[in-house]
Structure 1
């Protein structure tokens, strides 16, 4: 046999079994393709059934809300009607209340008070007798004059009266639900009641809604929860129909897929397969012919080379298409290539290992730096907290000893007030930096004159600057310098920078504050000739808890939060801040840049800010509710000293009991009370007619943004975090007194 014959035989031996296996696989594939189309239809049916169940569950939840109100028990159908309208899920459905005889009492599709005489439904008593939520089949609505279904819930009042609440849906409501499921145009989708009557349909709905489904589907849905049926539709279309029952109703979702949609892909796949088999045999024959020619040529070259070798000549070894002719050179070449690749791979691995080692060292160094910064911060926090606690403790003991010495008592009270203010400032700094760095701070933006901001900041810091004998040089450019921002926050930024300059500059130093406009930016500089910043610290100066080295007496104070807070606030205003220093002992410069406000936008910008009104000397009736009696009584004593009449309660129940006789016009409530929380207490107090115009103040340890939102929702007028400054209460009382006087 020739080479071509051997190759043909080899190809036949390989292809014939392969094609047989491929044919068997094709049969399986066609079956799976057919099954996959059924699965798609079944998945769509299940999805529609799930949507129906979710809609029924939502309606049931709304009915439970209505059933649990006191309006039905009281017979307050006006309030019940209003609540029905509020909780109604969609304008496409409505809510109905029937009595036990089936008489319609309320229907939100009609105005309240509409005459429903004669609108009696004979199925209502049996629905009430079931004592459970039910879903009806399709029926004709007497009010809507259209086919509807309903979700029904029996209600039995404490007095024994029986009612039925129903959420009614038109059949068109579920037709629109079907349209959301991207159903192919050729498919027929229907929702069928337990009685075999069509509730809705995606095709010919106007003529076939309310009609019985074909017998094959009706018999199948009564025998099993889901399945497949081969049938002819009422549109005379041959179908494969899949159906499934919903869980919450006795309804069935049926999807009819035209038989041609199921069988046509299989027939097309068979035609393509036969064509592919013929093509494969043709290509195989061509390949056999081409390979036979190449092998024959290689063998002839080998014969000629052998003859030349046998004749004593040096054969010419040219590159052959058959690899065996030059296998030795190929092996050597492959071996050299493999060795070179191995050397390159080892070098890459070594470089990668070295890079990973360096990254690990850097990560360890950063972790150690962060851990050291955390330890330093905790040590500083402990020191800063213990410092005010020592004089507070001593002052408390002194008050016990010298309680009849008014001068000593006054001095001791001043000490306690200063130290409490210091503690409050520390805690406020911690909370403030937490809110700002997490993006929870809300800016009250307005058009701000930066020059007036600098003026207010200098006014706040001037006592510290003068106490350390510093010279403050201020350079203000005459150019317009207005920005949009939160005035209080911007004053806080400049104050922090000036405070740092004053604290870290030895006594008798020089501090320069300048402001100017450069193109679209306002540039503010704070320059000092103080301690300077170490080069290693400079890149991290705006990170939390980062500070320069302290002297043993810790004269500078602080927790290392100020500059982190400054950078966060500046970023919220769309600005930037940079720090510069030539090293220790060479001072430092902080340069702040803010977007300048266009001149046309600066109307209403002024340097004067709102002045607080003086307290009005009017005695008020105030109730304080706090389970911390020490805190409550101390605040009560302070308010009584201002002439107010105070009543203290330790829990919410006592406060509610005494509210009617206390005649309080102001309530100061703690949130974390032992029986009811302050939110619920405020709501109940507001519900009383005597407290309609009362002033509600929350005084608590909870100061996050969501706590203030909850306070507002509960009816509080103000929300303060303990401890509160008496001046703040005085201003609120004065404003409240002025407002109530205007109303009287």
Structure 2
């Protein structure tokens, strides 16, 4: 009560001034000039007190004016101070309403800002985890955002140079070319300059760094608002190195196939023309028939090898993997090759592990791969030399070795030994072949069985192919996973 004493004095003063005002209006005895002076003095005193009190403690005055007792009829009469009270109370109520509304709007905006911040953080995190580079520019070529994958296309700040131009647009172009690599800057400029002709443009370029070299495809797209005003440009950069390499390999494959087919067909045509001309004796004709037969066999091997490789790579051949014992597969392959080795007086030795080597493989495919390796070993090993087939366990893998003491492979040919249609030039005359056998072996080992294959060779001393595949049976893994936990 003590803290509100001054406000009650103010209220009493205002009530007194209101009563004086009423008396002056109704009394016939007072002088009009005296009444006017008294009214002015009372008004000035009341306003001075009111202003001083408002400056000292506005919140307490507002609470006082909200007091329901001030709403009594005698305090809200249609006179000067009654109107003042009514208007003051109305303004305070309006201010309270606006304050509550403003507080609610502030709370809503704060919640919306937090939601937008979380969405922005989420979007940035998603973009940073993409393998595709994303760069966002505003309408003035200024880089606004770039994700982690696009970092190689942004020039580090330490390597940037200061560009100055008079024109604002030219300055922004210079800055953009100073911030990103020239290929991206050029694409950005062309896209914005031709925004009326097309929404997007694309470009392909090669980029070489300290630890990488690849081809990239960049697609720039202009962004517009609902009024068709340019907001900026987004550039998406995709690594097409594998795609480019695949196209190159495909072109090389087609070229190699055409070359491999052309050579025997040209020979067959020449021999047939000689026979048709009748310029050959009977014994010469028989020799020509033999050459033609050899070329046809060569074409047949080539076509069959290409079909097998294409069918396996394209998935036409169904892969049937089962739990097997590796040594059983190796013994079957050795039985196929042993007669060929005996014909060349080559010592064929199998040194298979005494351990049980469990594998989960396609028995026929893996067997064919081992037969191809053994066949090549016998083919390029001279009479009287040796070929060995070995198996062993090494950590969690099964290792297969096919070793010979034959011609060997020159060092410059080793990186290409698994390429399609590649044949070692120095060994071409030693045996016929298509150059697809080792490519097929490599695909079966690496792609079908998740293994690896390597080769070591010394010219005139021999070659060793080493195949490594995962060890273990699939059914045993399942049983281990399904086994209930042991409780103590």
Do the two structures share a fold, i.e. TM-score over 0.5?
no
Q: TM-score, normalised by structure 1?
A: 0.29
Specify which structure has the bigger relative contact order, considering alpha-carbon pairs within 8 angstroms and separated by 6 or more residues. 2
Q: TM-score, normalised by structure 2?
A: 0.41
Structure number with the higher helix fraction is 2
